[in-house]
Amino acid sequence: MKTAYLVYCANNQALPHFPESSLALAAELKKINIPVKIIDLRLVNQRKIKIEDPLFFGFTIYSNESIKYALDFAKAMRREFPRTPLVWGGPHVHMMPEQTAEHALVDLACYGEGETTISELGRILATGSNDFSKIPQVVYKQNGLIQKTPQQPLQKLDDIEFYPYELLDLPLYEKAAKTHFYYQTSRGCVHHCRFCNYNYQYTWRGKSGAKVTAEIQEIVERFHPYELYFSDANFFADKNRVQDILLRVKAANFPDFRWMAFCRFDDLSAFSDELMALMKDTGCLRLNLGGESGSDRILSYLNKGVTIKQIQEGLKRCVEYGIVADVSFIAGVPGETDDDLCETLTVISDIYKKYPGHMVNGLFYYQPYPNTPLMEEIAGRYALPIPHDLSGWGHRPVTSPRREYFPWLSDKAYSKIFSLTQIVNFLYLKQRLEDYLKNGVMNKKYVFLLKLCGILTPFVKLRLKKKNFDFPWEWKLYYFLKKRFVGMDL
């Protein structure tokens, strides 16, 4: 019987986490007895991959360099297996299905959630048919015209099987799995931030408390992670569900259980004392929080639904309950002034001064994502170089976007933001490296980078004290070495 090949194309080779999207699809194919193999392009040499009798190649892509890696592999597969369908899915395809389907190396673009689509695709191709019209929520070319089948009801998350991790070469993921094990309990988001695409055509819904607890038990017994990361876009969207999950976790009494999750400051500042105590009692070590800006004006412009007062209240609550706040910010938003940026820097500095246990996990450039309200607005106002085909999106780096993506910024403003992002990200990287060393997951390249961080620390402190971000020679060197030695996503 032919084998389905699922190709994961993300780009962090340093501490690779499990390819969750590929595992979710593999679980559905196993239900209908279709052999499946996962190819993780982060970990294997493309020339050494052995392909035998493929049913189809399924690519998961994001709106960044993952597209480039996928296209390179797809081109090679087209030469070797010209009749095997090249099937594309993932967040980027969901946002841009028609444009994706136009590419010559795309036979089928799957928008929406992939579980329903992959099952029907597998059944139809297994019969030898190429009638894509019978497959739900796909876009394809027929006689030179783009065809689109209807979207299906959203996936019931309790129906999703536990991921078939045994399909992977587990030792390749061991260090990441033992450090931060990513686990998703819900999909979608209930908020409408103008820069974010999490809620695009998705309704928030989550797994039941019983389902989550059973899967946590499986993860703990099989992988013994130091920390479980609930990788939901909005883990706390349903407070009753969170309380149910945590009460079940407490009753299960998992040994040495620790967890973290993404949280919003408006939620955190309003949590009851009972919920905060339950979070701490069940092993909550830290929360990832999107501060985004130190300016209430910018937060309002982004439709974030969060105020600086709530950020300050949330930070104090974390201190009160001994939970680390891991906060991120963005810069370079259209209309952001020097005063706005200075307010963001003030909040970041206050976190380090007033809350030394907390962390700022980065100051990132604003990234225009397709089909988001803010991108649609600025595309009409500025000469924004929006890619017009699939390959064009593959030239967008994950971090430090190129100068042309910010036509609203002067050269001086762009240079200043570059320096700021490198300084703030450097401080976080130093903390992360020390954490990796503590937990025994570092190798020589991390030790080298930690030493480099020690050398640059005096420059960081001086620049922050003087608020001087001109001529960032040391940060260009630091950024180059970080990318060279540890990858983009650390």
Span 412-452, pLDDT tens digits: 888 888 778 877 777 777 766 776 666 655 556 667 777 77
Asked whether residue 134 falls in the same domain as residue 167, the answer is no
- Percentage of residues in the chain with pLDDT exceeding 90? 56
Asked whether residue 125 falls in the same domain as residue 247, the answer is no
Asked whether residue 284 falls in the same domain as residue 431, the answer is yes
Of residues 292 and 479, the one with the higher pLDDT is 292
Asked whether residue 51 falls in the same domain as residue 94, the answer is yes
* Model confidence at 380: pLDDT above 60: yes
The band of 221, judged by pLDDT with boundaries at 50, 70 and 90, is very high
* Model confidence at 84: pLDDT above 80: yes
Asked whether residue 110 falls in the same domain as residue 210, the answer is no
With respect to residue 154, please indicate whether it lies within any of the assigned structural domains.
Answer: no
Q: Which helix (H) or strand (E) holds 287?
A: strand 284-292
Span 277-296, pLDDT tens digits: 999 999 999 999 999 999 99
The band of 43, judged by pLDDT with boundaries at 50, 70 and 90, is confident
Predicted local confidence at residue 437, as pLDDT = 66
* Model confidence at 461: pLDDT above 80: no
Span 130-148, pLDDT tens digits: 899 999 999 999 988 999 9
Buried-state track 351-363, b at ≥16 Cβ within 10 A, e below 16: beeebeebbbbbb
DSSP E strands, 83-198:
86-89, 108-110, 138-142, 145-148, 180-183, 186-187
CATH of the domain at 202: 3.20.20
Asked whether residue 248 falls in the same domain as residue 378, the answer is yes
DSSP string, 263-324: E-HHHHHH--HHHHHHHHHTTEEEEEEEEE-S-HHHHHHTT----HHHHHHHHHHHHHTT-E
Residue at a domain's end among 100, 116, 148: 148
Residue 4 structure tokens: 């389905």
Q: Tokens 């709530």, residue?
A: 310
Of residues 450 and 318, the one with the higher pLDDT is 318
- Best mean pLDDT range from 62-76, 199-213, 289-303, 413-427: 289-303
With respect to residue 433, please indicate whether it lies within any of the assigned structural domains.
Answer: yes
Span 15-28, pLDDT tens digits: 678 999 999 999 99
Query: Of the ranges 313-327, 335-349, 383-397, which one carries the lowest mean pLDDT score?
Result: 383-397
Asked whether residue 183 falls in the same domain as residue 135, the answer is no
The band of 489, judged by pLDDT with boundaries at 50, 70 and 90, is very low
State the sign of the Cα–Cα–Cα–Cα dihedral 459, 465, 468, 469. Answer: positive
Q: Identify whether the C-beta of residue 407 lies closer than 8 Å to the C-beta of residue 383.
A: yes
CA atoms of 472 and 116, how far apart (whole Å):
50
With respect to residue 40, please indicate whether it lies within any of the assigned structural domains.
Answer: yes
Parent domain of 54: 3-148
Predicted local confidence at residue 482, as pLDDT = 66
Asked whether residue 174 falls in the same domain as residue 65, the answer is no
Instruction: Write down the pTM of the prediction.
Output: 0.88
With respect to residue 441, please indicate whether it lies within any of the assigned structural domains.
Answer: yes
CATH of the domain at 42: 3.40.50.2300
Residue at a domain's end among 83, 113, 148: 148
* Model confidence at 267: pLDDT above 80: yes
Mean pLDDT across the chain, nearest whole number?
A: 87
Asked whether residue 116 falls in the same domain as residue 215, the answer is no
With respect to residue 153, please indicate whether it lies within any of the assigned structural domains.
Answer: no
With respect to residue 409, please indicate whether it lies within any of the assigned structural domains.
Answer: yes
Q: Radius of gyration over alpha carbons of the chain, in Å?
A: 23
The band of 313, judged by pLDDT with boundaries at 50, 70 and 90, is very high
Which residues are 80's β-sheet partners?
none
Residue at a domain's end among 148, 182, 208: 148
Asked whether residue 328 falls in the same domain as residue 201, the answer is yes
Predicted local confidence at residue 424, as pLDDT = 79
Asked whether residue 17 falls in the same domain as residue 84, the answer is yes
Predicted local confidence at residue 112, as pLDDT = 86
Give the count of domains, the chain: 2
Predicted local confidence at residue 488, as pLDDT = 43
Asked whether residue 133 falls in the same domain as residue 195, the answer is no
